[in-house]
Amino acid sequence: MRLQIEWDAPAETLMFQWRQVSKRERARLYAAAQERLGLCYGALRVGDFFACLKNDFAVIGVCSTWNDTTVAQYIWAMGFVDYGGQFAKLLSRLVPPMSADERAAQSACVQVSMEEGLLVFLRDYFGLPSFTAAEDLTVNELVMAKRDAYNRAAYQVKLRKIAEMKNKR
């Protein structure tokens, strides 16, 4: 079902039809809403990304009551929910492999939230002076840094295993 969208109309005009919209059409609408609002999910500041994860969409002009929300804002927010799920899956795949000793040592650490862990990672990875500076990076920069850190860690683990195999000979 391809919808004709009036982007500046009140969101209520679309809410009731939204369940019938196919995944393919939703993907098209998510991309169009990002373009319409001039803000792609990956270009979000990390601080705004975390706010959106908490249903605070002030970055696109949506107030907490969702009054006066436009169709474009509604579709952008719905797309962000899907993007957040994809982001979580990506992060779960970018956890570097750990040895048994590393897992044992980690068990003594205090649990931190995803937000806290990512801000610490960004601050350390980029050598930033504060967590506020880390919040100013974009989601795309975060993803690239996580991929790089994963690749470096995986490389070191593989290199260590190769050295251990050579030493056993």
Question: Stretch 137-146: mean pLDDT, rounded?
Answer: 98
Question: What share of residues in the chain are helix, strand, coil (percent, to 5)?
Answer: 65, 0, 30
Task: Compute the distance between CA of residue 119 and CA of residue 115 in angstroms, rounded to an integer.
Answer: 6
CB 5 within 8 A of CB 32: yes
The residues facing 70 across adjacent strands are 10
Q: Which residues contact 58 (CB under 8 A, 6 or more apart)?
A: 51
Q: Using alpha carbons only, what angle is made at residue 117 by residues 116 and 118, rounded to the nearest 5 degrees?
A: 95
Task: Compute the distance between CA of residue 2 and CA of residue 109 in angstroms, rounded to an integer.
Answer: 50
Q: How far apart are the two ends of the chain, measured CA to CA in Å?
A: 64
**Confidence tier at 16 by pLDDT (50, 70, 90):** confident
In the chain, where are the structural domains located? 12-92, 95-168
Mind listing the pLDDT tens digit for each residue in 145-165? Answer: 999 999 999 998 889 889 988
Question: Stretch 112-130: mean pLDDT, rounded?
Answer: 97
Q: What value does the mean pLDDT of the chain take?
A: 92
Neighbouring CB atoms inside 10 A of 72's CB total: 24
What pLDDT is recorded for position 102?
85
SS3 (DSSP) at 122:
helix
What pLDDT is recorded for position 101?
87
